[in-house]
Structure 1
C-alpha cells in the first residue's frame, strides 16, 4: 500500500543510510589515525590497558635516560682513573730511577711534582653532568656530596599498583682519589650477621629441580624438619654492662608449621621466614634478631642491636624423634663441636675522609721528615742510607696506591657492565610494550581500507535507494494529472 502520510520505504532507506554513514565515520577515523581503539568509548578495557602500558613506557624511558647519564658518569670516572693509573706507573718508574747511585733526586722530584699536578688536574676535570666522583668534598657542610651514588636502573609496578625502582649503586667513598675534607669520618657500629651458603630456593629442602608448582617450596607434611639453636650475645643493662647470651631452639616441622602454612606440602619461603621470626620473637624476645633473605635469596640472620659486644651463632641440633633434618643453606648435620655459622658486630670507629692519593697515611720513618701522601710526597730531601730506606718505602706506598686505583677501576667496570646490561634490557622491554600496545589498539589498515571502499559503495546505493523512495509520492501525484 502506498501512503501519502507515511513513506515506509524512505524511512528504511534513511535508517540504512545513517548506519552506513556511522560505520563510514568509524572506518575513516581508523584509517586516518591508524588505531581501532583511540578512545575509551571504543573499547574501555583495551584502552585502559594500553594507557597503563604507555605510562609504564614513559617511566621506562626516564629510567633509560637515567641509565644513560649514569653510564656517562661511570665512563668519565673510569677514564680519569685509567689516566691517573698510567701517571702512577710513570711515577713509580721515576722513583725507581732515583734509587740509582748518582741520580739528582731534586731533579727527579721536579718530574714527580709535574706528575702529581697532572693527576690532580685529571681528577678535578673528571666531571659529568655536574658529578665528580674522583675529586670530592665529603665535609658535612657539603650537602651535595653522596658517599654512594644511586643510578635508577629499573622500574616495576606491583599487583596492588605500588611503584618500585631498582638502583645501581656506585660506592664513591671507596673510589675517590682526592677529598678536600681532611676530618676523620665516624663509622657506625654494625650488627652481627651471617648468611647461608646457598639461595634458600636452591637448597635440597626447597626442591630446586621439582615440577612446576612445587619448585622453591618445602614439604613439611611428613618427617622433614629444620632444627637449630640460635644464640644471641649482647651486653645487658647492668653497670658496668655484662655480656649475656640467650639461646633459642628453633624447630620447624609439620607440628610447628601447622598454623603458619596454608599447605604443608608446599611451604613457601615467606611462610618459612615468618615461622622462624615468630619463634625468634617468642624465645629470644622482640626486636632482638631477625631472619630474612639477602639479594641473592640466601637465608640471613642479623641482630637488631649493633656493636662489638653483639654476636649471633647458629648450631644445628638433632631432629625430633622420627624426623629428618633438611638443608636450608646451613649444613643440616649435627656437628661434633662448634657451630655451623656465626657473626659478630663491630664497634663504631673512625676512618680518614680523604681519598686514595691525598690521605697522609705514610711516614718518612727513617729520616723523620713527617708524614706524606701520594699527592704530596717529596724525595728531594731523602739522602744517605736513611733516605734510601725511606725512598724504598715511598715506592712501596706508590705500588699500593696503584693496586687501590686498579681496584677502584675494577669496581667502576663492574658498575658499567651492570648499567649497560640494564640499559639493553630496558630498551628491549620498551619495544615489547610497544608491541603490546599495537596488538591492543592498532588498526589493520589493509582491512579498514577495503572496508572503507565497500562502505562508500553502500553509501551511494543507500542514497539512490532513498531518492527512489522519496520519488514514490511524486508518482502518486502523476495519477491526478
Structure 2
C-alpha cells in the first residue's frame, strides 16, 4: 500500500508542476505581440511530459494515473492495508484504508470524460465572464487512440488564437490544477497515514523486544562481575600451584 500511494503521489506532484508550467505559458501567450506558435511548441512538449508521467506511474501492475485500452473497467476505490492490531486477549484485526482513484486519473484512453486532463472543462470567457454562464469548453490532452470530449476544444495555440480564447484556456487549466491539487492532498493524507502506521509498528516491535529481553536476558553487569571473579580465582590457583612447584624443587636441591 505504501509503495502504491508513494508512486501515485509522486506522479501527481510531478503532473501538478507541469500543469502549472502550462498555465504560465498561456499567461505569457496573452502578452501582446508574443509569438504564440513558439509558446505552443513548448506547451506541446509539456503535454508529452504529462503523458509520460501518467503512463510510468505504475507499481505492482497498478496505475492510478492512467487508464489504457487494456483496462476493462474504470478506476474506482482502491483498498489497502492501513493498520494491524492485536488486542490484550490476542485477537488480531487488520484495518484498511480507501482511496478513490477515479479522482487521480490524469488520462483515460477509453472515456475522456473520466480523465482530469482529457475531460472537457466548461468556463466563462469574453463577455460571459462573471455572468455565471459558461460559453466555452476546453480539454488539455487528447489521449492516444482517443477523441476529445464532444463540444470540447483542445488547449493549443495558433497565430490567430484570440485573447478571449487564451483567457478561457487559462481558466480551464486553472480548474484542472485545482482538481489535481485536491486529489494530491487526499492521496498525500492516505500516504502519510500508512507511513505513520509503519513507523509506529517498527517502534512497537522494538519495545516488545526490549520488554521480552527484560524477562529472559541475563543481567550483564552481574554476569560480568561473576566472570571477573572466576577469572581472578583461576589466576590465583595457577599462581599457588606455581609457588608450590617451585618450593618442592628448592627442597630437592638440598639433597644434591
Alpha-carbon contact 1:154-1:422 (below 8 Å) kept: yes
Aligned to 1:355: 115
Instruction: Give the one of 170, 187, 200 matched to 2:99.
Output: 170
- Secondary structure of 1:85's counterpart equals helix
What are the within-5 Å matches in structure 2 for residues 63-212 of structure 1?
70-137=1-68, 141=72, 147-158=76-87, 162-182=91-111
Alpha-carbon contact 2:83-2:94 (below 8 Å) kept: yes
The size of the alignment, in residue pairs, is: 208
Cα distance in structure 1, aligned partners of 2:209 and 2:69: 44
Aligned in 2, Cα 1:394/1:382: closer, same or farther, shift over 3 Å? farther
Q: What are the ranges of 5 or more consecutive residues in structure 1 without an aligned counterpart? A: 1-69, 184-351, 455-481
More helix by proportion, 1 or 2?
2
Aligned to 1:408: 183
Moved more, 372-381 or 111-120: 372-381
Give the Å deviation of 1:94.
1.7
Cα distance in structure 2, aligned partners of 1:104 and 1:379: 13
Aligned to 1:373: 139
What are the within-5 Å matches in structure 2 for residues 225-264 of structure 1?
none
Aligned in 2, Cα 1:397/1:84: closer, same or farther, shift over 3 Å? same
Verify: 1:383 aligned to 2:132, yes or no: no
Cα distance in structure 1, aligned partners of 2:44 and 2:38: 10
Aligned to 2:212: 437
Cα distance in structure 2, aligned partners of 1:382 and 1:394: 15
- Secondary structure of 2:81's counterpart equals strand
Alpha-carbon contact 1:178-1:356 (below 8 Å) kept: yes
Cα distance in structure 1, aligned partners of 2:60 and 2:122: 35
Structure 1 residue runs of 4+, over 6 Å off? 363-366
Aligned to 2:196: 421
- Secondary structure of 1:400's counterpart equals helix
Alpha-carbon contact 1:105-1:380 (below 8 Å) kept: yes
Aligned in 2, Cα 1:169/1:136: closer, same or farther, shift over 3 Å? same
Alpha-carbon contact 1:364-1:372 (below 8 Å) kept: no
Q: Answer 1 or 2: higher relative contact order, Cα 8 Å, separation at least 6.
A: 1
Aligned in 2, Cα 1:170/1:90: closer, same or farther, shift over 3 Å? same
Q: TM-score when scaled to structure 2?
A: 0.66
- Secondary structure of 1:168's counterpart equals strand
Cα distance in structure 2, aligned partners of 1:88 and 1:121: 13
Q: What are the ranges of 5 or more consecutive residues in structure 2 without an aligned counterpart? A: 127-135, 143-153, 231-256
Alpha-carbon contact 1:382-1:391 (below 8 Å) kept: no
Give the Å deviation of 1:425.
1.1
Aligned in 2, Cα 1:449/1:137: closer, same or farther, shift over 3 Å? farther
Cα distance in structure 1, aligned partners of 2:206 and 2:48: 48
Alpha-carbon contact 2:15-2:53 (below 8 Å) kept: yes
Give the Å deviation of 1:161.
5.2
Q: TM-score when scaled to structure 1?
A: 0.38
